[in-house]
Structure 1
Amino acid sequence: MSTTQSERLRELLEPLVSSQDLDLEEIEVASVGRKRVLRVVVDSEDGVDLDKVADVSRALSAKLDETDAMGEGEYTLEVGSPGAERPLREQRHYARAVGRLARIQLAEGGELVARVTAVDDQGVDLQVPGVKGRKPTARRLAFGDIAKARVEVEFSRKDDSGTKSMKEEEEA
């Protein structure tokens, strides 16, 4: 997909996504056989439920049908959320990940798995788990020190006392 098409699609779709109180996170056009697929990833502070995805999908489909942004050929529109192991690219992504575990590739090399504890305009505060009985340590990273980051899925998170978190108790 050319940068021009990507920019045009973003300019066309972002106002519709924003009007639904969502953020447009990603746009991708891929070829699948003879067909093309337009994948649109949306998110919000509170996450995205299926009803919201359906609403924005209908709005985007109607807008795309009005224009030639996707050209003449057939295409399939797929609208979804970033998923459980979402990439962290912007400050708002890190803010949404506060309290979550993240796998971070450092710009200087190396990798770190730590819990996001706070975020501001300059960077992110982390709690690095202790190893072999040691206590966790605090670490601060500027956004420029991070090459790549992604939320890690935790299936049985325990708080520091070894008991289930409040969220786990609510879900139980």
Structure 2
Amino acid sequence: MSASDTVLTNVRKLAEDVSAREGCYLYDIEFVGMGAARVLRVTIEKEAGGVSVEDCTNVSRGMNVVLDAEDVVPGDSYSLEVSSPGLERVLKEPRHYERAIGKKISLKSFAPLLQFNEQVQELGKAKSFEGKLLGYDDKALKVAWPTKQVEGAVGDEENGFYKEVTIPFETITKAHTVFEYIEKAKPGQKSPHKGKSSGGSKK
């Protein structure tokens, strides 16, 4: 384990303790930037009710106290940011994917998806994906690749057809949930329209 990994591990433990004390849990933590421009980003979540501005403020205040007392971050000064996951959540850990099963996700792979899914030739040279997360195991994700080719696909004409695609964790460079909203049907409309947001702002 590198020195930077050790630092982040120590900070993670402090963040978990502070978050729990405030009735939240740690969703994600990372250092971004370099030197004096470094930012420690702490993302917190709640099992129910959602994270409030007050929650973020309390965790931020608590983190500042323990970070100063423990002095676990060496080097230049840095900034601390505490926020909720937002509408489109970063997916990094198994527990993140667990809560995203059945939801639409977007991800990028450094390798062509066809390399692991020769049965789905329409993947072509695609290295990115957007579709429903079906499940996962300790090695890969199982996702639904939307397709118009009925042969070998699952689904129906009303809800659409898809083929199951496997994406190894080790090839994923970035992944997050996709927020979808459903417009209420106006008088005379038969069904609502489902769309994708342009991204929600974090608190």
TM-score of the aligned structures, taking structure 1 as reference length:
0.67
Output the aligned Cα RMSD.
Answer: 3.7
Residue number in structure 1 paired with 2:200: none
The answer to whether 1:43 aligns with 2:60 is: no
Instruction: Encode CA deviations 1:64-115: one digit per residue, 9 max, x unaligned.
Output: 2322223586543211123333221222212222343212335652332111
What is the match of residue 90 of structure 1?
Answer: 93
| SS of the residue 1:70 aligns to | coil
Structure with higher Rg: it is 2
TM-score by length of 2: 0.59
Output aligned runs, 1:12-161, within 5 Å: 12-19=14-21, 20-28=23-31, 30-31=33-34, 34=36, 36-46=38-48, 47-71=50-74, 74-106=77-109, 108-109=111-112, 110-118=127-135, 124-131=141-148, 135-139=160-164, 141=166, 144=169, 147-148=172-173, 149-156=175-182
On the 8 A contact 1:108/1:145 being kept in 2, the answer is no
CA distance in 2, matches of 1:26, 1:129: 33
Greater RCO (CA < 8 Å, at least 6 residues apart): 2
Gaps of 5+ in 1: 166-172
SS at match of 1:38: strand
How many residues are paired up? 162
Q: 1: distance between equivalents of 2:161 and 2:74? A: 54
3-state DSSP of counterpart to 1:48: coil
Q: Distance in 2 between matches of 1:162 and 1:124?
A: 32
